[in-house]
Amino acid sequence: MKALSVLQPWAWLIIHGGKDIENRSWLLPERMVGQRVAISTSARFSKAEWYEALMLIRERAIPAPVEGTGYEIPCRDELEFGVIVGTVELAGCVVRSESPWFTGLYGFVLRNPIALPKPIPCKGRLGFWNVPAEIEWQILESEARAK
C-alpha cells in the first residue's frame, strides 16, 4: 500500500472534513488513479497551515460535511501528528475544479475516505511511499473494523 504525507489540519479535513481535493505542484502518476492510499500526517505543526485552512473555509463558505452543523477544525492539541489517520481513494488528477478545496496547479481528486478508529504511528516521507508491511496489516484490520 502506498501512503501520502499531508500536513495537519489538511489530513484531518481529508478524512473527516469533506476535503475532496489534495492540491499539489506535481501530477498524480497515472498508475495511482483508482488506488486506495493511506493518509499520513506530518510530525510537525504549522500555525500558518491551520489559519490558512480556516480562512479558506470561511472565504469560500465551504459547507460542513454534516449538513446543519458548524464547521470546526480541531485545535492543535486535538490533532494527531506522525501517524496514519485513514485511507482515501485517488479518483484522478485535475487542473481545474468546481470544488472549493481546489487551489493548486494540480488537484488529486479524493473519494471514499475511511478514518482509522485509532491512528497508527508511522514516520512519513515526501511524495508517495510504501507503507511497511506490518503497518499495512494494521491499516487493513482497522479499516475492516471501521466499516
Q: How many domains does the chain have?
A: 1
Q: What is the pLDDT of residue 40?
A: 97
Residue 67: per-residue pLDDT = 60
Extended strands (E) in the chain: 2-6, 21-24, 36-41, 83-94, 106-121, 128-130
For residue 9, what is the domain's CATH number? 2.30.130.30
Q: Indicate if the pLDDT at residue 64 is higher than 80.
A: no
By the 8 A CB rule, do 76 and 108 touch? no
What's the pLDDT score for residue 71? Answer: 67
Residue 74 has a pLDDT of 86
C-alpha cell at 107: 488537484
114 Cβ contact partners less than 8 Å away, ≥ 6 residues apart:
15, 86, 87, 88, 143, 146, 147
- Domain containing 7 equals 2-146
- The pLDDT tens digits for 104-137 are 899 999 999 999 999 999 988 888 999 999 999 9
